[in-house]
Structure 1
Amino acid sequence: MSRQSITFTTPNDNWLKSQIESEEYTSKSELVNDLIRQAREQQIEVDYIRAKIQKGLESGISNRTASEILADSKSRLKKMK
């Protein structure tokens, strides 16, 4: 593991403390690591959706719009979870 030093704004620090006080997390480190994990998972989903839209647009075999492809991709992602 890597040790880091970061500074939080007062509202963010208060929110972090409230999460720990509610016993949702045991430490700020655990909470920040969980938030980063969630962001990484979201990025994977965004990349997946972008790739599907691009593939659909380039295929030439679909008359669907980018918005329709996006809606379909989001629906498929929800089913995968």
Structure 2
Amino acid sequence: MGTVRKTITVTEKQDDWIKEQISKGDFTNESEYIRSLIRREQRNNSQFLNLKSKIDKGLESGLSSKTVEEIWNAGKKRFEENQKRENA
């Protein structure tokens, strides 16, 4: 994968923050820090779009005839099953 050189402008406070992250040893240089922010934003955006899609699907499905307790118990069961799968 190729790289593209970018020039950005940050405030002094932001520059101090970036330098602090590097001095703590979390990153080796400014580019590495900025790339990590971009990767995190990409993950967050992907998670947001996934959640938005699920909310839209729920809204499109209409009203449920189930009680709040039935919905809660079904969600709890699904959560516990997912936890078991992840820990297996």
How big is the shift at 1:62? 3.2
Deviation (angstroms), 1:59: 1.2
Percentage of matched positions with identical amino acids: 35
Amino acid at match of 1:55: K
1:57 partner letter: L
1:8 maps to 10
Number of residues paired by the alignment?
Answer: 69
Structure 1 segments (4+ residues) deviating >4 Å: none
Structure 2 residue ranges without an equivalent (≥5): 67-74
Q: Normalized against structure 1, the TM-score is what? A: 0.75
Larger CA Rg, structure 1 vs 2 = 2
Q: Higher RCO, 1 or 2 (CA under 8 Å, sep at least 6)? A: 1
Structure 1: distance between partners of 2:6 and 2:23: 22
**Equivalent pair of 1:20/1:28 in contact (CA under 8 Å):** yes
Structure 1 pair 39/63, CA: closer, same or farther in 2 (3 Å)?
farther
Aligned alpha-carbon RMSD (Å): 2.4
C-alpha separation in 2, matches of 1:63 and 1:53:
18
